[in-house]
Amino acid sequence: MPDADLYELAERYRSEFPIFRSAVYLNSCSLGALSDRARRGLQEYADLWSRWGASAWYDYWLEVADAVRASYARIIGVKRSEAALAPSISGALASVCSAIDFSKRTRVVTTDLDFPTLVYHFLAKRADGVETVVLSSPDGISVPLEAFTEAVDERTAVIATSHVYFTTGAIQDIAALSRLAHENGALLLIDAYQSIGQVPVDARAAGIDILLSGGLKWLLGGTGLAYAYVRGELLERLEPTVVSWFGVEDQFDFDPRRLRLRGDARRFELGTPAVPTLYTARAGLELIEEIGVERIRTRVASLTEDLRDRALAHGLRVRGAGERERRSGIVMVEHRDPAAAVKRLRDAGVIVDHRPGAVRMSPHFYNTTEDSAAAIEAMAV
């Protein structure tokens, strides 16, 4: 699709996001903007709660949960039976990783660029004999595949790392990681929180075993809902020990004497989901499916390059992957005091975020080059 068409598309959808009437919003990698349809979803939830009370579960809410699983599964190219809801990435890790046997293979290979909750999960298993190898990034931007290759061997149970690194936006080659994991008899667990919704992912084709993501960033779904994909072929042998009544067959039989885990990925679900978020998540997923992640990627890539070029033209330093195709919609503009810069920008009506040493800007499909110009000009003064 030519750039001009994509621009029109962004303009059309932008009017669905009221934040743009009062601010320049460039922070989707922290929290996707609220759409009118998500707000209507919240209203619908409240109306149903008010009208039907608990009956709404059977007549509406369980169906919405199903629709959300199905939409998410389509977006990442997997079967609906391979997708589960989770309260957060941290919760999904607790449940899914409770099913991994670390008794023979005791190692997990991860990196110092991964989101801490991922690494903490395995560090906390030290008492159970799990050894977490945290690879160091040589340049603070990404970790070369060779570093993984050196570290992964027959002692490795899992490679656990991100698709897109949250502090640099660098995209990892997940298909290559999958080959490496499988050649060594290990599992590949991908934290795709910063990629799903902005970078196309076909989890099956990439050979990923476990993929975790959440709804509040690029999927525009609001807080309180995450997703777990577990490759169908693994489901039978991955029996969680962190379980809930949402993960069993015949949930509404309420039989405490018998634990019969579901055969699908929902065996990893942990209790009552956040229903208001199911409504906002459904609206966000609908937008993403309507536009299509391929188109979003093209649009975001062009905004990312524009944002970088503007920053460089103003004499600012940008941290990120060298090759263009390894860059995603996270632009790190270096700054001595990023927290103060973010506050100053907010006072000027520009909402961005900070991470150590840099201001983090993240354009989504609804942004424009005018947003980038406003942000960089405000930053450069």
Q: Which residues bind ligand PLP (CB under 6 A)?
A: 88-90, 115, 117, 162, 166, 191, 193-194, 214, 226
Whose Cβ is closer to ligand PLP: residue 30's or residue 368's? 30
- The answer to whether 204 and 78 have CB atoms below 8 angstroms apart is yes
Whose Cβ is closer to ligand PLP: residue 60's or residue 87's? 87
Task: Report residue 346: phi and psi, to 5°.
Answer: -60, -40
- The answer to whether 160 and 192 have CB atoms below 8 angstroms apart is no
Burial class (CB in 10 A: 0-12, 13-18, 19+), 160: buried
Whose Cβ is closer to ligand PLP: residue 61's or residue 166's? 166
- Minimum distance from CB of 184 to ligand PLP (Å)? 24
- Minimum distance from CB of 177 to ligand PLP (Å)? 15
Whose Cβ is closer to ligand PLP: residue 111's or residue 178's? 111
Residue 250 Ramachandran class (φ > 0 left, ψ -120 to 50 alpha, else beta) = left
3-state class percentages of the chain: helix first, strand second, coil last, to nearest 5: 45, 15, 40
- Minimum distance from CB of 166 to ligand PLP (Å)? 4
- Minimum distance from CB of 220 to ligand PLP (Å)? 15
- Residue 5 makes CB contacts below 8 A (sequence gap 6+) with none
- Minimum distance from CB of 112 to ligand PLP (Å)? 13
- Minimum distance from CB of 43 to ligand PLP (Å)? 25
Whose Cβ is closer to ligand PLP: residue 166's or residue 279's? 166
Pairing relation of β-strands 156-162 and 210-214? unpaired
H or E element in which residue 48 lies: helix 36-52
Which candidate, 113, 161, 291, places its Cα nearest to that of 218? 291
CA distance 265 to 268: 6
CA distance 69 to 45: 18
Whose Cβ is closer to ligand PLP: residue 102's or residue 115's? 115
Whose Cβ is closer to ligand PLP: residue 31's or residue 348's? 31
- Minimum distance from CB of 86 to ligand PLP (Å)? 8
